[in-house]
Structure 1
């Protein structure tokens, strides 16, 4: 995001800074309100579960966060995983799993492993978000015509032609579909042509207001948000029977996935927010602890899991926030709105919220990333594509695991890369063997092939100026060739002591000698 950093002092709130934070909190509240409900519906849970998470993310996590301007709440990045959990194990399993995931995050923060979560390759994270975006689009296109999505991404895509045919021929869901398309059109148009004076007005809010007004005035027969009159009455606290479900190894694995993905997305978002201002940097372990506390509270209340989310956080910074007061107040406005005006939210068409999420899903895919990642090499692009495609074809866990595995494989291959060249001077019967990179057992066939091509009677000089290391297999190969080369009139010129120093044995010996001399 190309924006000049905003100067702030998040630790001290001067009287003159109160007004900007109130304004920014209102902007974030307006962005968060439709997303909290929409993500809940996409996750297969009641909208109240998303609103509760938004309130906790604002008031509680905002007060303790290690990144003062990071806004936490329900995230589209976990919607697919929540949907699968609720589908396979029921809504009753959501609370215990989120509670355990939060406890894992809190423990990780207390043991100061926050920075370790940032070791996940960015290509994996971006691939994960792209894969999730594709799945959200696939499922919410069905919801946009008041139909239920199917179990998997490929199934949803496969069923789309039939669904569209039903809408066109029987007009079932046509009104809902037109509302959803209208929402997408409004958001696209607002993003491109919004007046400068209204730049802080969220397109999603404008779209949902227009869709709701049209649905009410025209009395359209479309599904609407199901929200209880009493938000607190919808809270179902986790009991002993719910905690007992965690004895299921499958749910333990899902909780670990929640914790890992939520933490990675949060800390990646925190790093992005840091790049947008010049104030205090994120304290990653503190942020992880705050997220853990928040998710434990969400789990106890049976609500959605939360992460730090970049869309709301970017809106927070752009609106002029200077402290955590903005984040806390946005949660307060959410709480006040759903407590005092639930009847207003119940007017919102579900198809309109689905349209917002279809637009959000397309933004998460972000085709421009392909060109950006390709700039860092084909391997980085391959990790991104493998992660995204595996998520769509299988599930979130398999996709992330595939991305991480491919990243590690590429790292190992790069570390073991060796360029071998032999420059011959046949007139003088000499040659230069140049080794660049790391000589490991994986390179023995190639190195052996090059050595076998040396003509009889040639003196070979080994150039190892750019050789980083050599393992035992390659060292033995050179030694054996040198011993047998005399029979062919060949000779190997090499600084054996320097070559051995580049081996693991030589490195260990050097370290031992260094210890004995100090």
Structure 2
């Protein structure tokens, strides 16, 4: 309770000047802002679903309210607010709150930035002693004349208010210490108080707040607005939807920052509470209400723990409005306008622009901002939604087409040219020109492997690809079409047009079992502590059968009776080294030899071992492989044992004998000049270079290398960064793979002798 009482007082101090300023900016009676703050605190606080959110008059609704007051009058605007609240009640009862969050944040933040710009353009006139015009563009046109001929007293009061707000925000927020300010004092309070004292003490001529003797003095029941019915309905929907979206977004943001022990927000209940508050505010003559991020953030930072803080803040506003009317009437309008200028500038959040640019949604933000300023709030929001719809359509129909000519291997004799085309994305009539342009550029008579990795194909796309295929085959070409996921093309050819069943999301096949949870459909949960190793293995096999086998079956069928790998890959048995991942290879690509420490025994070694030599002989003599790669890795246990002198493996006689083949690597490391990097990493790298030299001790293999028929490659995998580097043998260093930017990684930078 103590925390909630203190927090409610902090929010009350924030709410008073903002409520007065928003009422003035909206063209509504000043009392309407206080009524909205009271109702928002008490009614929305009691009935809403977000315990720590504070509701009241919001700057984001200022433009809408100002237009409504000018078009229909104040009492009719109250009716529109009441009807908007009833609409929110209905939406809350229908439990559609989550649907409101479907509006893109780019549009919402663009709308708020546009409202902020409109606020600044209107209130800067009040700060300078003038009156705002009826539109943002008119305010912009009149602004130079207002700047050239300001009224000195209001301008000085506005400048003083802005200066205090800026300085206050930069003061250290500590409870004690020289130059510090108490955490619970919000900046608007001293800014407005100082401006009010200055105007009163100096007797300056500046317009003041006009507050009635009582909040409900002169109250009259709301009246029905006069005008075209579509316009009135649009106004009600605008108030309801904009207030709802702003409240729900605020609720989500505050929910992320809620302290431990505070229940999660119920968005449907929050929408119901906002509807009840708007209905009550419209009936009593108050402004429209929404969740306000400034007050809600102040509530959380002040230590609030329950909805009591929100309700109490409304009670404090009520007490002030009933007992301190003469004090409020001393507040200069220029000071309130300056407060809104600062608030409007803060609503134009440049940090949002950077985040939206990263996701390529900045055009919708700027379109909404410009639309709100130039056309109006509703038109600007619709413009932003239209831009986002076009962006979403473009993303949904995004298509990537890659083509490459496959160069035949040397010694294969004359073979017809072969092309590989990959089409990825959603293949509709919009992508037909892009695909046909690539396909028609392939020479007649050539063989084409066409991979269709598409999640949808319409008839226009099928017709274009099928017509090209028939024409290409008539000219003695060959077309092999492979469909990676759904068989759209095959079904269209066979006439089976039953709805495609979406493939399950691809498994993270490259992740360890412990990182993947698979439930009943693929076996026991892979990260459950009581699952046996054999069960994990079988669960992985079931996952392979369920997700991958059908995709690789055509490839495996081709390879079933012969293999034609082009690379021999010698690497360590370490479980963290997965050759197919670091080389992005598939079945039939790599002929792999794995052993402890990726060692190659030298020709004529005193410790005989023919397993690696047998692999090399078969790879080069039978399979005709032309590249041998030795791949080492960081934190290799075999190299650590060598570095320790073999003491750690003395109890393992077989392993100890095998590691003698690494003595030349150890000698190479010891003879090298000292270099940067951990000793173990430098030994692991030196070992790769040494194994390439060991391969050259076989005379028949050296002859192939010198004749240019065999290439030796050294790779090094840094486990911590998952980066692979290639050995520059003349320089004796590992460098980035050609075509990549070097990574700033000290673990990869060792030099070799």
The TM-score, its normalising length taken from structure 2, stands at 0.63
- What residue in structure 1 maps to residue 302 of structure 2? 319
Q: CA offset at residue 236 of structure 1?
A: 2.6
> What is the total number of aligned residue pairs between the two structures?
484
Q: Pairwise mapping of residues 278-297 of structure 1 onto structure 2 (< 5 A)? A: 278=260, 279-297=262-280
- What residue in structure 2 maps to residue 14 of structure 1? none
Higher mean C-alpha deviation, range 248-257 or range 66-75: 248-257
Task: Tell me which of 398, 404, 414 is aligned to 2:395.
Answer: 414
Task: Tell me which of 462, 470, 479 is aligned to 2:450.
Answer: 462
- What residue in structure 2 maps to residue 176 of structure 1? 154
Distance in 1, matches of 2:424 and 2:399, equals 6
Q: CA RMSD in A?
A: 1.9
- What residue in structure 2 maps to residue 200 of structure 1? 184
Q: Is the 8 A contact 1:470 1:502 kept in 2?
A: no
Q: Is the 8 A contact 1:96 1:245 kept in 2?
A: no
Q: Is the 8 A contact 2:225 2:232 kept in 1?
A: no
- What residue in structure 2 maps to residue 336 of structure 1? 319
Distance in 1, matches of 2:227 and 2:70, equals 17
- What residue in structure 2 maps to residue 222 of structure 1? 206
Task: Tell me which of 68, 74, 77 is aligned to 1:85.
Answer: 68
Higher normalized contact order (CA 8 Å, seq sep 6+, divided by chain length)? 1
Deviations 1:97-135 (A, max 9, x none): 111111111110000100000000011111010000000
Task: Tell me which of 179, 196, 213 is aligned to 1:212.
Answer: 196
- What residue in structure 2 maps to residue 430 of structure 1? 418
SS at match of 1:475: helix
1:386 maps to 2:367: yes
1:486 maps to 2:469: no
Distance in 1, matches of 2:127 and 2:225, equals 37
Distance in 2, matches of 1:138 and 1:511, equals 55
Q: Pairwise mapping of residues 184-195 of structure 1 onto structure 2 (< 5 A)? A: 184-195=162-173
Q: CA offset at residue 222 of structure 1?
A: 0.4
SS at match of 2:158: helix
List runs of 5+ in structure 1 lacking aligned partners.
Answer: 1-17, 168-172, 513-518
Quickly say closer, same or farther: Cα 1:493–1:208, change in 2 above 3 A. Answer: same
- What residue in structure 2 maps to residue 403 of structure 1? 384
Larger radius of gyration: 2
SS at match of 1:233: coil
Q: Is the 8 A contact 1:469 1:502 kept in 2?
A: no
Distance in 1, matches of 2:286 and 2:499, equals 57
Q: CA offset at residue 509 of structure 1?
A: 3.6
Task: Tell me which of 346, 352, 362 is aligned to 1:363.
Answer: 346
Q: CA offset at residue 235 of structure 1?
A: 3.0
Q: Is the 8 A contact 2:449 2:482 kept in 1?
A: no
Deviations 1:255-286 (A, max 9, x none): 11111111110000001101111421111110
- What residue in structure 1 maps to residue 678 of structure 2? none
SS at match of 2:479: strand
Q: CA offset at residue 151 of structure 1?
A: 1.2
Q: CA offset at residue 400 of structure 1?
A: 0.4
Q: Is the 8 A contact 1:500 1:506 kept in 2?
A: no
Please list every run of at least 4 consecutive aligned residues from structure 1 whose deviation after the TM superposition is greater than 6 angstroms.
Answer: none
Higher mean C-alpha deviation, range 298-307 or range 408-417: 298-307
Q: Is the 8 A contact 1:48 1:234 kept in 2?
A: no
Quickly say closer, same or farther: Cα 1:256–1:418, change in 2 above 3 A. Answer: same
Quickly say closer, same or farther: Cα 1:386–1:244, change in 2 above 3 A. Answer: closer
Distance in 1, matches of 2:227 and 2:13, equals 36
Deviations 1:196-227 (A, max 9, x none): 12122011001000011111111111000000
Distance in 2, matches of 1:416 and 1:113, equals 29
Distance in 2, matches of 1:500 and 1:484, equals 17
Deviations 1:171-196 (A, max 9, x none): xx210011011101100100011441
SS at match of 1:438: strand
1:442 maps to 2:426: no
List runs of 5+ in structure 2 lacking aligned partners.
Answer: 176-181, 409-415, 503-753
1:498 maps to 2:487: yes
